[in-house]
Structure 1
Amino acid sequence: MITHPGDPSLRLIEVADLDAPSPPPEVLAHGDAMRAVVDWAGTYLCRPHPELGRNGPVCPYAQGSLSRNRFYLAVPRAGEAVETVEDVAAAMEPYRAWFTALAPLDGPEAVFTAILLLLPGLGDRLALIDGAQNALKDAFVEEGLMIGEFHDGPPDKPGLWNPLLRPLAGPVPLLAIRHMVATDLPFLWGDPAHRRAYLTRFGGRVPAHLREIVMEAVMEGVE
């Protein structure tokens, strides 16, 4: 378990904590949900999917995150309300600054670090997850971070290579933070502010297979 240096109530659970002889209180309260997410990461994110539309695992970085012990789990703090979109966004917000301190962009573990905030008590109020992700995305992207939503709805966002696939399905409602990577361009190009944030960070390092998107936008006069 990692405790925030400035706020002892803010803690991150490591995968090893799930089987510790004396687990943290968060594991005692939400261990089943945490184990379900770790199992999902290993059996879904880390493996190829027949409907994905490309080779390789669903998430290219998940196995590295697990192997390097950089796959961090969290739950809302005791007494923290999660009844509205604003509540869910407020529960996630403190992890934004902490993430950049835990995983500086120039560090060797940067792209393998992820924080997942689990909200196992949401029940069927899955729209709160989608709404919070939408509300937070601008601020996260501006700092070079990606925030994703996962739940068993699943979120109505198609796969990049197969529009019929809904790849953000997960066993527990959660929001996840990771660093932006060069291949995130298709997720960001439709919004001018997100596009600027991406180009500021990657500039001429756009992957070859995505450069056509940039060239088409230039030809069309996109800002």
Structure 2
Amino acid sequence: MTSRYRWLLIPLLFYLSMPVGISQGRIRINQEQARVMEAALRYDLAKDYVYDSTVYRTLVLDKQVRKQGLAILEITTNPDSILYYSVSYGESELAGIIAGDSSWLDLMLAFNDREGELSRIKQGDLQLPEYNLQLRSNRSLRRQFKGKRGWERFYARHPGSNGLYRISAPLIRDDMAILYLSHTRGGLSGSGVILLLEKKPQWEVIHLVELWVS
């Protein structure tokens, strides 16, 4: 990391490590949030297609996702296992983003402050007509991954899918948005990222900060 960015990390990591307020409210997905989430999912699908040219037509989403800040959940063989990470990847990316536009820092801090909010995705919230979108509850996922061969059972139940997605409701301010997205294909194949998006005029991912990989 270049020395000119180092001064940004000290206040950034200090603020991001402060205790966050927890809201137990259940957040309904509004139309604008849905458009951001759709753009994030399509971005991930296009990114994956570069490395795996298989065309997947089934998307499986956890429909109940607690909003996470920059200390996030890792999904490994058990989607409900909890391993907290600090910013172990992406420090330089964060510093570069903030150096270019300090308003991103305000958005990140606001996103962190709303950690704990429960997003509930309902059938019909997301408009992805080219895909068979399947929403799964936490309870059904826990049952499916209980014991051994959880991923075998997952793919047997969801043939044609590319794994399990978890996506938080985005925080939107004007033409800027931020959300957390994880995509796991198996016990040793997954990642969690913070995505920053801009509306120009459609929502587009402009920055990706990788938080964890497995």
TM-score, normalization: structure 2?
Answer: 0.30
Higher helix share: 1
**More relative contact order, 1 or 2 (CA 8 Å, 6+ apart):** 2
Higher strand share: 2
TM-score, normalization: structure 1?
Answer: 0.29
